[in-house]
Amino acid sequence: MDQTTLTPITVAHGDGIGPEIMEATLRIIKAAGARIQEETIEIGEKVYLRGNTAGIDPSAWESLRRTKVFLKAPITTPQGGGFKSLNVTTRKMLGLYANVRPCVSYAPYVATKHPVMDVVIIRENEEDLYAGIEHQQTPEVVQCLKVISRPGCEKIVRYAFEYARAYGRKKVTCFTKDNIMKQTDGLFHRVFDEIGAEYPELEKEHWIVDIGAAKLADTPEAFDVIVMPNLYGDILSDVAAQIAGSVGLAGSANIGEEVAMFEAIHGSAPRRAGQNLANPSGLLLGAVQMLIHINQPDVATAVHNAWLTTLEDGIHTYDIYKEGISTEKVGTQEFASAVIARLGKTPSKLKPVNYGASGSNTTIKVTLKPAAPVTMATVGVDIFLHHNDRDAQALGAKLQAISANGLALTMITNRGVKVYPDGMSETFCTDHWRCRYKTSDGSAVQYADIIALQHRIHEAGFSIIKTENLCTINGEVAFSAGQGA
Ligand code: NAD
């Protein structure tokens, strides 16, 4: 093959079952005519155990940033503290904002309670509680910041709608918990409604994540494409893959503006390593997504259809083998050979795929629209105190006496529950207090006023652990009310 027509890709063979399933995957896609040139990097356990807490060497970053395409086998994160998650690091450092996980059932060939399931979960991959900003604030209270940005929401929501359009999907559903988190999840939902309006041909719906998750687990056929913030997407994409039949069958794409990473959703299954037992299907379907991404949809189609035909012919690895349905129990490499032997075939019972011809490029590019200018004003401050006396009324009386440049105490909450004024004696209080100061007429304050207030509170002997400004955006209140403030 002419070297100039080959697309360079970075490959990591990983740990545990990783090397076996990667060998099988590469064998299949090359037999199908994948026009790729591999560059191998080492990541994972060996790198961690050499003392690199990120599990990836600088030379590996160099390869990834150059090829911009990463096919990654699962790795083992060593037990014990101090090791950073390679997956989270890679996603955030390379800006891989969209995690795409198709969860499909293959009944009757793979046992499942949900024979007509074909859901694509699109998970935001960089923000939310995964920002990793956690602090111990008082002896009793720790905090993790949930960070959601407007550009972050816009990128993932637009990606979901563009994906639905590119793949002929009918409906995009959004899961959030915006009845409780009105600012963070509220922004995600608002952006979903705003951007959704630009896709009139697609059906749109929003579910609160708890009942949405229950519905997904019970009636997955009611969903098509689902977009959600990071944590919900992490949990529910595993649930969706499992109820479709097996986590061992699902592939995953992590898409950024520049770089993209493709993998199986399962881990390195160390107990199965080195025995030619593992199912390579998850990584193979990750590789199918990669082939579409590098504009080789003809190869992706051939591989996917040959794989479906193999499933249909009952040639199964141990994890999906079932007496009466399967015809042959095979190892990793025999499974790969069976897929290769079926290249060129299309399944007769399972639905065949067609990703188009080479040159039809289904790569999804998302461009952010310029942000509309906003007017932001500070109208008060929440001052967080570490205070051991659990008497909210006594604390309130003392803080009520402290004010600065029009900023006066309006309420105190403990773990978000209002305890002053008019608290209830039954409310349990910790050593962590949020004290809200505002101007009486809602007028704006300067940061110098907030500093003057903090100074007085500090001088009165209180221990301030942090402050949060209370803002309005274009005149609208942009902070939680805190039960009656
Ligand atoms: P796991 O997904 O590796 O394995 C759980 C079980 O699922 C295995 O015992 C096995 O029975 C089955 N299984 C998984 N993949 C299979 C396959 N391809 N074929 C057949 N059976 C399969 O989860 P775990 O045991 O919790 O984690 C093991 C290691 O993997 C840990 O070190 C973890 O940190 C790591 N991990 C890595 C990734 C990744 O690199 N993307 C993801 C998850 C876990």
Express each pLDDT in 328-344 by its tens digit. Answer: 999 999 999 999 999 99
The answer to whether the bond into 108 is cis (omega within 30° of 0) is yes
CA of 267 to the centre of ligand 1 (A): 3
Residues 210 and 254 in one domain: no
Residues 211 and 124 in one domain: yes
Q: How confident is the model at residue 364 (pLDDT cuts 50, 70, 90)?
A: confident
Q: How far is the C-alpha of 435 from the C-alpha of 404, rounded, in Å?
A: 14
Neighbouring CB atoms inside 10 A of 28's CB total 27
Q: What pLDDT score does 228 carry? A: 98
Contact 86 CB / ligand 1 (< 6 Å): no
CA of 10 to the centre of ligand 1 (A): 22
Residues 58 and 17 in one domain: yes
Q: What pLDDT score does 248 carry? A: 84
For the chain, the domain total comes to 3
Q: What pLDDT score does 54 carry? A: 87
What strand order describes the sheet that includes 476-477?
417-420, 407-414, 432-439, 376-386, 463-473, 476-477
Tell me, what CATH number does 69's domain have?
3.40.718.10
Mean pLDDT of 125-143: 93
CA of 238 to the centre of ligand 1 (A): 12
If you take atom 41 of ligand 1, which residue's CA is the nearest one?
A: 74
3-state secondary structure of 62: helix
Residues 230 and 117 in one domain: yes
Pick the last residue of a domain from 234, 259, 281.
234
CA-to-CA dists, residue 71 to 97, 117, 282, angstroms:
17, 26, 12
Contact 246 CB / ligand 1 (< 6 Å): no
Q: What pLDDT score does 268 carry? A: 95
Using the predicted structure, report yes or no on whether residue 144 has a pLDDT greater than 80.
yes
For the chain, percent of residues with pLDDT exceeding 90: 85
Would 355 be classed as within a structural domain?
no
Do 209 and 226 touch, CB atoms closer than 8 A?
Answer: no
Tell me, what CATH number does 203's domain have?
3.40.50
Atom of ligand 1 nearest to the CA of 283: 18
Contact 271 CB / ligand 1 (< 6 Å): yes
Residues 12 and 117 in one domain: no
Pick the last residue of a domain from 185, 212, 234.
234
Residues 138 and 174 in one domain: yes
Do 376 and 472 touch, CB atoms closer than 8 A?
Answer: yes
Would 366 be classed as within a structural domain?
no
Highest mean pLDDT among 74-83, 351-360, 423-432 belongs to: 423-432
Contact 272 CB / ligand 1 (< 6 Å): yes
Kindly state the tokens that stand for 327.
Answer: 């015809």
Would 303 be classed as within a structural domain?
yes
CA-to-CA dists, residue 354 to 21, 231, 304, angstroms:
24, 32, 9
Which amino acid would we find at residue 323?
E
Would 448 be classed as within a structural domain?
yes
Would 184 be classed as within a structural domain?
yes
CA 294 to chain centre: 22
Treating both helix axes as pointing N-terminal to C-terminal, what angle do 297-312 and 281-293 enclose, rounded to 10 degrees? 160
Q: What pLDDT score does 1 carry? A: 53
Q: What pLDDT score does 485 carry? A: 41
Would 106 be classed as within a structural domain?
no
Using the predicted structure, report yes or no on whether residue 132 has a pLDDT greater than 60.
yes
Mean pLDDT of 13-21: 97
Would 268 be classed as within a structural domain?
yes
Atom of ligand 1 nearest to the CA of 271: 9
DSSP letter string, 171-229: EEEEEE-TTT-TTHHHHHHHHHHHHHTT-TTSEEEEEEHHHHHHHHHH-GGG-SEEEE-
Would 317 be classed as within a structural domain?
yes
Unique residue bearing structure tokens 């949020």: 434
The answer to whether the bond into 421 is cis (omega within 30° of 0) is yes
Pick the last residue of a domain from 315, 350, 385.
350
Residues 224 and 249 in one domain: no
Residues 163 and 191 in one domain: yes
Residues 230 and 249 in one domain: no
If you take atom 1 of ligand 1, which residue's CA is the nearest one?
A: 267
Q: What pLDDT, in 10s, does the model give residues 253-281?
A: 999 999 999 999 999 999 999 999 999 99
Tell me, what CATH number does 426's domain have?
3.30.70.1570
Q: What pLDDT score does 60 carry? A: 93
Mean pLDDT of 280-303: 97
Residues 149 and 212 in one domain: yes
Contact 189 CB / ligand 1 (< 6 Å): no
Closest CA to 317 of 284, 289, 344, 287: 284
Using the predicted structure, report yes or no on whether residue 109 has a pLDDT greater than 50.
yes
Q: How confident is the model at residue 235 (pLDDT cuts 50, 70, 90)?
A: very high
Per the prediction, the chain carries an average pLDDT of 93
Name which residue leads in pLDDT, 462 or 358.
Answer: 462
Residues 148 and 69 in one domain: no
Atom of ligand 1 nearest to the CA of 270: 28
Within the chain, what is the greatest distance between any pair of CA atoms?
A: 82
Residues 82 and 122 in one domain: no
If you take atom 23 of ligand 1, which residue's CA is the nearest one?
A: 267
Q: How confident is the model at residue 405 (pLDDT cuts 50, 70, 90)?
A: confident
Domain that holds residue 193: 113-234
